[in-house]
A and B are shown apart, each in its own frame.
Chain A
């Protein structure tokens, strides 16, 4: 599992169960709470709302304006009540990326649980001081002329990147665009790749 996930000391697991059993006994932890966490995050994962909002912004300029200026109203269209998200737009002149140097703040309601690399010291320490080098490790070279704008989530405001629409998607509608949009692009460490070319017809 690499150094992000060393084999956890059995001591840690025993401390989890110890605390869990005490909180169950005191009526603080509901008996079904753990099952509900697993259900919510492992099984109920549909397309991220962040990807759906991005796809809609690409096809509908009015929605894009709303998402950038009043994300609360824009996200309400997907049934989500969330009043602390700022959406920042990638353009040919600006590339945005998101980090939390002090802990691991992340817009869970629109992107789901954060990946482990987002929470580990390497990304948190370097994203603010050498973002271009970090992006290069992710396979993304940003031309020197394009400004890099790093958003360090130090308060309760949360940030999501609105990536650029890839070439070759001009004919696609909102529903067809959603599956192209990956989580890393919404954090700002990737671009949305153009759709794979159709399989060559077999003669």
Chain B
């Protein structure tokens, strides 16, 4: 989707603002969101592409205002409500409980004893590489042009590189296709390429001198170039 997350080439956000001696987490709740994200993924409640698309569907004004972990919270909550894992009514009631008790730990609202058996897990971010048959359509050095498409669903082809001419730099192998995997349509693995684009092709007369951008493109994003 042509959402607010697709930031490449946009203007107006000012200089890059760096924070001296930045802590790993700015507040305990950030680590809590990271733990929730991993737990939901390792339990198979969403895959990485659904997770990203959950964030992309944020209200655009909120997206720009929100901090990183706030975006995660918003996306995960959207997915878990859609999938029926939690209800918006239960969340609202619990949130009211914690608004009155800002320092209370999460377990204070848990009804009954904590279930035994849930285990922290790290390994849900499985590799996207698949051992699938089929000959790649392109080889390094081939001229290609990216498709000019504007799908309403999830895609990893950014706006700034649609309808642009590039050259295949490298084949990365066969990878899960996010455009289907984000929508419950299966992994449909296909060749993934590193494609090189000249700065002038992307930015025209406004390009800075002597720049190239490399972007990873699934085969479906590409057409033969001249």
Which A residues contact B (CB, under 8 angstroms)? 1-6, 8, 10-34, 36-38, 41-42, 45, 83-84, 86, 101-104, 113, 115-117, 119-126, 128-134, 137-138, 144-157
Q: Which residues of A contact B9 (CB under 8 A)?
A: 101, 125, 128-129
Q: A21-B106, A119-B68 are in contact. List 18 more A-B contacts (CB 8 A).
A: A10-B99, A12-B70, A15-B95, A17-B32, A19-B36, A20-B36, A21-B94, A28-B39, A28-B43, A28-B45, A30-B39, A102-B52, A123-B16, A128-B8, A129-B202, A129-B206, A145-B210, A156-B48
Q: Which residues of B contact A17 (CB under 8 A)?
A: 29, 32, 94-95, 98, 104-106, 109
Q: Which residues of A contact B27 (CB under 8 A)?
A: 8, 13
B17 near A4 with CB under 8 A, answer yes
B55 near A103 with CB under 8 A, answer yes
A34 near B32 with CB under 8 A, answer yes
B158 near A37 with CB under 8 A, answer no
**A10-B99, A150-B213, A156-B127 given; A131·B35 CB < 8 A:** no
Q: Which residues of B contact A22 (CB under 8 A)?
A: 86, 90-91, 94
Nearest B residue (CB) for A120: B17
Q: Is B26 an interface residue (CB 8 A)?
A: yes
Which B residues contact A (CB, under 8 angstroms)? 5-11, 13-19, 22, 24-29, 31-36, 38-40, 43, 45, 48, 52, 55, 64-65, 67-68, 70, 73, 76-77, 80, 85-86, 90-99, 102, 104-112, 114-115, 117-121, 127-129, 156-158, 160, 172, 175-176, 178, 192, 194, 202-203, 206, 208-218
A18 near B91 with CB under 8 A, answer yes
A25 near B110 with CB under 8 A, answer yes
B16 near A128 with CB under 8 A, answer no
B108 near A21 with CB under 8 A, answer yes
- B60: min CB distance to chain A, Å: 12
Q: Which residues of B contact A113 (CB under 8 A)?
A: 24
Q: How far is the CA of A15 from the CA of B67 in the complex (A)?
A: 14
- Of B16, B32, B176, the contact of A122 (CB 8 Å cutoff): B16
Q: How far is the CA of A83 from the CA of B128 in the complex (A)?
A: 10
Q: Which residues of B contact A20 (CB under 8 A)?
A: 32, 35-36, 106
Q: Which residues of B contact A145 (CB under 8 A)?
A: 210
Closest 10 CB pairs of A and B: A101-B8, A18-B94, A27-B115, A155-B216, A20-B106, A156-B128, A14-B98, A21-B109, A122-B13, A17-B98
Q: Which residues of B contact A150 (CB under 8 A)?
A: 211-214
A101 near B18 with CB under 8 A, answer no
- Sampled A-B contacts (20; CB under 8 Å): A1-B19, A1-B26, A11-B95, A12-B29, A14-B98, A20-B106, A22-B86, A24-B118, A31-B107, A33-B38, A115-B19, A120-B16, A126-B16, A129-B160, A148-B212, A149-B212, A152-B214, A154-B215, A155-B128, A155-B175
Most chain B beta-carbon neighbours within 10 Å: one of A10, A102, A130, A148 = A102
Q: How far is the CA of A152 from the CA of B195 in the complex (A)?
A: 10
Nearest B residue (CB) for A22: B86
A116 near B68 with CB under 8 A, answer yes
